[in-house]
Amino acid sequence: MNEEAMRAKIRNNSSRITDERIALKRLQGDEERLIGARRTLDQWIEEVRSQSSLVWKPQIDPRWKGREAFYYQDDVRMRWQDNQQKLKYQFEDAQGKIDSALSRVRTDIATKSKQISLLSAEIDSLYWSLRMV
Protein backbone atom coordinates (compact mmCIF):
# COMPACT_ATOMS: atom_id res chain seq x y z
CA MET A 1 0.00 0.00 0.00
CA ASN A 2 1.48 3.35 -1.00
CA GLU A 3 1.76 6.37 1.27
CA GLU A 4 -1.21 8.24 -0.21
CA ALA A 5 -3.47 5.20 0.12
CA MET A 6 -2.42 4.84 3.77
CA ARG A 7 -3.20 8.49 4.48
CA ALA A 8 -6.60 8.13 2.80
CA LYS A 9 -7.31 5.02 4.87
CA ILE A 10 -6.34 6.89 8.08
CA ARG A 11 -8.69 9.77 7.18
CA ASN A 12 -11.49 7.37 6.33
CA ASN A 13 -11.06 5.43 9.58
CA SER A 14 -10.84 8.66 11.60
CA SER A 15 -14.13 9.76 10.09
CA ARG A 16 -15.70 6.38 10.85
CA ILE A 17 -14.46 6.56 14.45
CA THR A 18 -16.14 9.94 14.85
CA ASP A 19 -19.40 8.52 13.49
CA GLU A 20 -19.15 5.46 15.72
CA ARG A 21 -18.49 7.62 18.79
CA ILE A 22 -21.56 9.74 18.03
CA ALA A 23 -23.64 6.58 17.65
CA LEU A 24 -22.14 5.24 20.88
CA LYS A 25 -23.10 8.40 22.79
CA ARG A 26 -26.63 8.12 21.43
CA LEU A 27 -26.84 4.49 22.53
CA GLN A 28 -25.53 5.35 25.99
CA GLY A 29 -28.24 8.00 26.27
CA ASP A 30 -30.83 5.40 25.25
CA GLU A 31 -29.46 3.05 27.89
CA GLU A 32 -29.77 5.72 30.59
CA ARG A 33 -33.35 6.49 29.56
CA LEU A 34 -34.28 2.80 29.61
CA ILE A 35 -32.73 2.35 33.06
CA GLY A 36 -34.73 5.36 34.27
CA ALA A 37 -37.92 3.94 32.75
CA ARG A 38 -37.27 0.61 34.46
CA ARG A 39 -36.76 2.31 37.83
CA THR A 40 -40.00 4.26 37.40
CA LEU A 41 -41.85 1.11 36.43
CA ASP A 42 -40.44 -0.72 39.46
CA GLN A 43 -41.70 2.11 41.69
CA TRP A 44 -45.16 1.88 40.15
CA ILE A 45 -45.17 -1.88 40.65
CA GLU A 46 -44.31 -1.43 44.31
CA GLU A 47 -47.14 1.06 44.71
CA VAL A 48 -49.61 -1.33 43.11
CA ARG A 49 -48.32 -4.22 45.23
CA SER A 50 -48.71 -2.18 48.40
CA GLN A 51 -52.27 -1.31 47.39
CA SER A 52 -53.13 -4.85 46.33
CA SER A 53 -51.91 -6.24 49.64
CA LEU A 54 -54.56 -4.21 51.39
CA VAL A 55 -57.54 -6.18 52.59
CA TRP A 56 -60.66 -5.66 50.53
CA LYS A 57 -63.03 -3.50 52.53
CA PRO A 58 -66.29 -3.01 50.71
CA GLN A 59 -68.06 0.28 50.90
CA ILE A 60 -71.70 -0.63 50.65
CA ASP A 61 -74.28 2.02 50.11
CA PRO A 62 -76.64 1.88 53.12
CA ARG A 63 -79.62 1.86 50.72
CA TRP A 64 -78.61 -1.65 49.59
CA LYS A 65 -80.18 -4.33 51.73
CA GLY A 66 -79.65 -8.05 52.17
CA ARG A 67 -78.97 -10.08 49.06
CA GLU A 68 -78.66 -6.99 46.81
CA ALA A 69 -75.85 -5.66 49.02
CA PHE A 70 -74.04 -9.01 48.84
CA TYR A 71 -74.20 -9.18 45.04
CA TYR A 72 -73.14 -5.56 44.71
CA GLN A 73 -70.19 -6.09 47.04
CA ASP A 74 -69.13 -9.26 45.25
CA ASP A 75 -69.34 -7.56 41.84
CA VAL A 76 -67.20 -4.63 42.96
CA ARG A 77 -64.65 -6.96 44.59
CA MET A 78 -64.36 -9.03 41.41
CA ARG A 79 -63.84 -5.93 39.27
CA TRP A 80 -61.20 -4.69 41.73
CA GLN A 81 -59.35 -8.03 41.56
CA ASP A 82 -59.57 -8.08 37.77
CA ASN A 83 -58.08 -4.60 37.58
CA GLN A 84 -55.26 -5.62 39.90
CA GLN A 85 -54.55 -8.66 37.71
CA LYS A 86 -54.62 -6.59 34.51
CA LEU A 87 -52.17 -4.11 36.02
CA LYS A 88 -49.88 -6.96 37.01
CA TYR A 89 -49.85 -8.35 33.46
CA GLN A 90 -49.34 -4.92 31.92
CA PHE A 91 -46.43 -4.21 34.26
CA GLU A 92 -44.84 -7.59 33.55
CA ASP A 93 -45.22 -6.97 29.82
CA ALA A 94 -43.64 -3.53 30.13
CA GLN A 95 -40.80 -4.95 32.22
CA GLY A 96 -40.10 -7.55 29.54
CA LYS A 97 -40.10 -4.96 26.77
CA ILE A 98 -37.78 -2.60 28.68
CA ASP A 99 -35.41 -5.43 29.59
CA SER A 100 -35.35 -6.63 25.98
CA ALA A 101 -34.64 -3.13 24.65
CA LEU A 102 -31.97 -2.63 27.31
CA SER A 103 -30.30 -5.88 26.30
CA ARG A 104 -30.29 -4.85 22.63
CA VAL A 105 -28.86 -1.42 23.47
CA ARG A 106 -26.13 -2.93 25.63
CA THR A 107 -25.22 -5.35 22.83
CA ASP A 108 -25.07 -2.45 20.38
CA ILE A 109 -22.88 -0.46 22.81
CA ALA A 110 -20.46 -3.37 23.09
CA THR A 111 -20.38 -3.73 19.29
CA LYS A 112 -19.75 -0.01 18.74
CA SER A 113 -17.01 0.01 21.38
CA LYS A 114 -15.33 -2.96 19.69
CA GLN A 115 -15.59 -1.28 16.27
CA ILE A 116 -14.00 1.90 17.64
CA SER A 117 -11.17 -0.14 19.18
CA LEU A 118 -10.54 -2.00 15.93
CA LEU A 119 -10.55 1.19 13.86
CA SER A 120 -8.21 2.88 16.33
CA ALA A 121 -5.82 -0.08 16.20
CA GLU A 122 -5.87 0.01 12.40
CA ILE A 123 -5.13 3.76 12.41
CA ASP A 124 -2.24 3.22 14.82
CA SER A 125 -0.85 0.47 12.62
CA LEU A 126 -1.15 2.61 9.48
CA TYR A 127 0.34 5.61 11.26
CA TRP A 128 3.39 3.63 12.36
CA SER A 129 3.75 2.12 8.89
CA LEU A 130 3.81 5.67 7.50
CA ARG A 131 6.51 6.68 9.95
CA MET A 132 8.64 3.75 8.81
CA VAL A 133 8.38 4.81 5.15
C-alpha distances out from residue 63 to 56, 69, 70, Å: 20, 9, 12
**Higher pLDDT pick, 43 / 75:** 43
Q: How far apart are CA 19 and CA 17, in angstroms?
A: 5
Q: How many CB atoms lie within 10 A of CB 27?
A: 20
Phi then psi for 63, rounded to 5 degrees?
A: -75, -20
Model pLDDT, residue 18: 94
Number of neighbours of residue 30 by Cβ within 10 angstroms: 17
Q: How far apart are CA 127 and CA 14, in angstroms?
A: 12
Mean per-residue pLDDT for 64-92? 74
Q: Report residue 121's pLDDT band, with 50, 70 and 90 as the boundaries.
A: very high
Report whether 85 contacts 72 (CB < 8 A).
no
